[in-house]
Amino acid sequence: MIRRFAAVSGVLALSACGGSQQASVAPSEAAVLASSPTPSATSTRELQIPAALRGRWGLVPADCTSTMGDNKGLIVVDAESIKFYEARAVLDVVKDVRESRVVASFSFSGEGQEWKLDEELHLEKDGRELIRTEHGENAMTEPLRYTRCA
């Protein structure tokens, strides 16, 4: 009986010690959170693909008009990804961004495979043409030119 009392007393004593430590930590954590800056709208925009680059783009005119599902050269660019015929690239890290250009790392997935690749997207011909250039190991040697779908 004395052993049980001693064991319970020891546990209570330890938990009492732990409680005071938490009380002293909590205010400092709150102070850190209160002093942390919140992200601005500008920083959020910089983590996205610029609006000027978003939309539907085709390698050939038929990619924009096909209703047969055979538009293999069509890409759809949104704020955080590029969708291809049989793959998708999700934005990971923006390295450089301007109104009509972005260089970023993307995580690709498609046909049961996953890979990472750096992509550069920029506009030409008054925003009617999108140039997509891959960078890094296994990148295509030449850029691809897409036309904006109407």
**What pLDDT digit, counting tens, does each position of 71-99 carry?**
999 999 999 999 999 999 999 999 999 99
Distance CA 72, CA 52 (A): 23
Instruction: In whole angstroms, give the CA distance from residue 71 to residue 61.
Output: 10
CA distance 110 to 115: 9
53 plus 25 within the same structural domain: no
The answer on 83 and 126 residing in a single domain is yes
Output the pTM of the full model: 0.69
Same domain, 115 and 63: yes
Domain boundaries, position 141: 42-148
Question: What is the dihedral angle through the alpha carbons of 7, 11, 16, 17, rounded to the nearest 10 degrees?
Answer: 100
At 18-67, the pLDDT tens digits run 444 444 444 443 443 343 333 333 344 568 999 999 999 999 999 999 98
- The residue among 103, 118, 9, 127 whose CA lies nearest residue 146 is 127
32 and 82: one domain? no
Q: Is the CB of residue 119 less than 8 Å from the CB of residue 135?
A: yes
